[in-house]
Amino acid sequence: MPGDFKVTPWEVSGEVDYDRLVRDFGTSPIDDEILERFRQYTGDLHFMLRRKIFFSHRDLGWILDRYAAGENFFLYTGRGPSGHTHLGHLIPWMFTKHLQEKFGADLYFQMTDDEKFFHDPVLSQVETLGFSYENALDVIALGFDPAKTFIFSDIEYIKTLYKIAIEVAKHVTYSTAKAVFGFDNSINIGMIFFPALQAAPSFLPSVLKKKNIPCLIPAAIDQDNYWRGIARDVAPKLGFYKPAQIHSKFMPGLGKGGKMSASQPETAIFTTDDPEVAEKKIRNSFTGGRDTIAEQKKFGANPDICPIYHYYEFMLEQDDKKLKTIYEDCKGGRLMCGDDKMHLISKLKPFLKEHQRKREEARKMIDKFMVKD
């Protein structure tokens, strides 16, 4: 059915209507008023806010009120380590880095290797734990402050997390878990308990420091079930603040429609891809172009449905004026897809090379970031 789409923690498909998500999930749109408040603390707005790549939130005004009153918040985000990191994963992490820098906030970063083990039919524990470490290199490569960043694997840090997770779990019934996550009777029981573990880090620093600390979660909107359905509901029952959220859109894949997904490797650029391989993927990408150059010159192309355009928008062209020129030249039939792809490749390859260099350097620093108990 046209207009049909799905957004859950395990599946994103169809053409996502983000305004509808704001209504259905009961969040608030990122509007001019909240942006103005943000600007007071961060100066020039981050391009992901200017472009509404972060488009929705809960309680962001409250987080800023607390901050203004001298109460620092911490950041919480995470990753399900089922494979290598792709560019789409970097979007919330890059923004999280910006928030850490501007607000001096601690970051707690969860690697849900337990969940990926439960969820994936073939991955072993050893493999998902291994990807926790591989993915952590990508996080570290983005330049987080080692003194303020705590990355943990669920499998390894369970002793600390479990004490919080069981407090959460006690307040969540099976019927709630089923309603929030759509579990059916074939789901393994690990998955039923897991939401308590993803909620737990929302309260982790408050437990560790024995005082209530406000929490802000930057994440793609597909993770919202955990906050809407579990963490925010349970928080007051345990005497904690409800975690606040800021939600991002999904970076599209290189195919026609749909988000970048590791299950379609030809349509996703992995941070570990050889730059030449990445170039090939871009060359083979779907575009919003016309069938012939003559038609494109005459009628123009459609940047709104074009992954190449969205790669500039989400990451590779942070200058608004230049982005606008690309958009208008594409629409006006002055920019052909081949040239557009070559230009994107000329930005992507140095980005990847630099990220890969930092990623290798991160191997030496990993012990400073990973917390153990």
- Indicate the residue among 59 and 340 with the shorter CB distance to ligand TRP: 59
* Total length of the chain: 373
Span interacting with ligand TRP, options 75-83, 97-105, 163-171, 251-259, rule CB under 6 A: 75-83
7 Cβ contact list (under 8 Å, min separation 6): 16, 21, 221, 222
- Indicate the residue among 38 and 95 with the shorter CB distance to ligand TRP: 95
- Indicate the residue among 187 and 277 with the shorter CB distance to ligand TRP: 187
Per-residue interface string for the shown chain with ligand TRP, residues 207-236, x marking contact by CB under 6 A: ----------x-x---x-------------
Q: How far apart are CA 173 and CA 151, in angstroms?
A: 29
- Indicate the residue among 223 and 356 with the shorter CB distance to ligand TRP: 223
- Indicate the residue among 78 and 214 with the shorter CB distance to ligand TRP: 78
Of residues 83-112, those binding ligand TRP (CB under 6 A): 110, 112
The pair phi, psi for residue 233, each rounded to 5°, is -75, -40
Strand partners for 252: 259
By CB under 6 A, the count of residues binding ligand TRP is 12
Q: How far is the CB of 312 from ligand TRP (least distance, A)?
A: 25
- Indicate the residue among 157 and 312 with the shorter CB distance to ligand TRP: 157
Q: Which of 57, 58, 66, 79 binds ligand TRP (CB under 6 A)?
A: 79
∠ at Cα 155 (149, 156), nearest 5°?
A: 55
Span interacting with ligand TRP, options 72-80, 130-138, 295-303, 329-337, rule CB under 6 A: 72-80
- Indicate the residue among 142 and 305 with the shorter CB distance to ligand TRP: 142
Q: Which residue is nearest to ligand TRP (CB)?
A: 80
Of residues 10-49, those binding ligand TRP (CB under 6 A): none
- Indicate the residue among 153 and 285 with the shorter CB distance to ligand TRP: 153
- Indicate the residue among 242 and 341 with the shorter CB distance to ligand TRP: 242
Strand partners for 108: 76, 150
Q: Decide: is 261 part of the binding site for ligand TRP (CB under 6 A).
A: no
Per-residue interface string for the shown chain with ligand TRP, residues 240-259, x marking contact by CB under 6 A: --------------------
Q: How far is the CB of 347 from ligand TRP (least distance, A)?
A: 26
Span interacting with ligand TRP, options 78-86, 141-149, 258-266, 304-312, rule CB under 6 A: 78-86
Contact 79, 73 (CB under 8 A): no
Q: How far is the CB of 139 from ligand TRP (least distance, A)?
A: 12
Q: How far is the CB of 89 from ligand TRP (least distance, A)?
A: 8
Q: How far is the CB of 119 from ligand TRP (least distance, A)?
A: 8
- Indicate the residue among 82 and 356 with the shorter CB distance to ligand TRP: 82
SS (H, E, C) the chain: CCCCEEEECCEEEECCCHHHHHHHHCCEECCHHHHHHHHHHHCCCCHHHHCCCEEEEECHHHHHHHHHCCCCCEEEEEECCCCCCEHHHHHHHHHHHHHHHHHCCCEEEEECHHHHHHHCCCCCHHHHHHHHHHHHHHHHHCCCCCCCEEEEECCCCHHHHHHHHHHHHCCCCHHHHHHHHCCCCCCCHHHHHHHHHHHHHHCHHHHHCCCCCCEEEEEEHHHHHHHHHHHHHHHHHHCCCCCEEEEECCCECCCCCCECCCCCHHHCCECCCCHHHHHHHHHCCCCCCCCCHHHHHHHCCCHHHCHHHHHHHHHHCCCHHHHHHHHHHHHCCCCCHHHHHHHHHHHHHHHHHHHHHHHHHHHHHHHHHECCC
Q: Which of 7, 63, 80, 206 binds ligand TRP (CB under 6 A)?
A: 80
Q: Decide: is 77 part of the binding site for ligand TRP (CB under 6 A).
A: yes
Q: What residues line the site for ligand TRP (CB under 6 A)?
A: 9, 76-80, 110, 112, 198, 217, 219, 223
